[in-house]
Amino acid sequence: MVSAVGEGYPPCPYRALPARIFNAQSRSKGSIPMRRLLLLSFGLFLFALPSRAQSVDASVGYSYFRLGAFGGINQNGVSGSVAYNPNRWLGIVGDFGGYHASPGGVSLNTYTYLFGPRASLRNPSKFNPFAQFLIGGSRLTAGSGGGSSNQFAYSFGGGVDVGLLPHLALRPQLDYVGLRNSGQTANCTRLSVGFVVHF
């Protein structure tokens, strides 16, 4: 596999950007305790099972994705999620996104797939805020034959569902997304706005 933070990219101004994104973000060593995070998510899911008030919602919308903080790359794309809500305040989420940019004329795509718990403050008003913590993975691909790499990814953030119709809401959302590669982290930001349907 060709690393997206090393070699394998065409000789253009973009060549040094992936390394800069990861090398400049975090110098901390060690790894995220993924096993503990998975156990926590599973425990929250089991805790919520006894509830009878169950629902499902699905969302899709536009996303601005900042790949790396300082010296990073601005990408645009689409993200969406599906959530199973065992009760009124807790949901189990699958979140997916794809984002694109062409720095230096070279196509760069970032894909994310994340899963985890979401806490919602559902109330009689039209404004229902939520917060979530997700873990999963990401994939970066560059150009035609430019190489690709996979990363461990995690995210935390939140947003608010603004009711438009009984089963339709507008959802603005802001998330921090961390991409781990070779012991370093690229600090990313995702700003999204879209529609959510409640079933």
17: in domain: yes
The confidence band for 27, taking pLDDT boundaries of 50, 70 and 90, is: very low
1: in domain: no
Q: What domain count does the chain have?
A: 1
Q: What Rg, from alpha-carbon coordinates, does the chain have?
A: 18
- For residue 48, pLDDT beyond 60: no
DSSP-derived pairing of the beta strands 55-67 and 184-198: antiparallel
- For residue 192, pLDDT beyond 60: yes
Report the CATH number at residue 159.
2.40.160.20
Q: Give mean pLDDT, residues 157-175.
A: 96
Q: Which range among 135-144, 151-160, 171-180, 190-199 shows the weakest confidence by mean pLDDT?
A: 135-144
Q: Which range among 32-36, 93-97, 186-190, 193-197 shows the weakest confidence by mean pLDDT?
A: 32-36
The torsion of the CA quartet 19, 24, 26, 29, rounded to 10 degrees, works out to 60
148: in domain: yes
Q: Are 148 and 1 in contact (CB under 8 A)?
A: yes
Q: Are 142 and 106 in contact (CB under 8 A)?
A: yes
- For residue 51, pLDDT beyond 50: no
pTM check: above 0.85: no
8: in domain: no
Which residue carries 């939520």 as its tokens? 130
What is the residue range of 79's domain? 13-198
The pLDDT, as a whole number, for residue 106 is 87
- d(CA 81, CA 58) in angstroms, rounded, equals 6
- d(CA 150, CA 42) in angstroms, rounded, equals 24
- For residue 45, pLDDT beyond 70: no
7: in domain: no
140: in domain: yes
State the DSSP code for 24: T
6: in domain: no
5: in domain: no
Q: Which range among 13-22, 50-59, 163-172, 184-193 shows the weakest confidence by mean pLDDT?
A: 13-22
State the DSSP code for 50: T
- d(CA 36, CA 16) in angstroms, rounded, equals 35
- For residue 79, pLDDT beyond 60: yes
Q: Which of 147, 153, 115 shows the shortest CA–CA distance to 134?
A: 115
The confidence band for 168, taking pLDDT boundaries of 50, 70 and 90, is: very high
The confidence band for 42, taking pLDDT boundaries of 50, 70 and 90, is: low
- d(CA 147, CA 4) in angstroms, rounded, equals 6
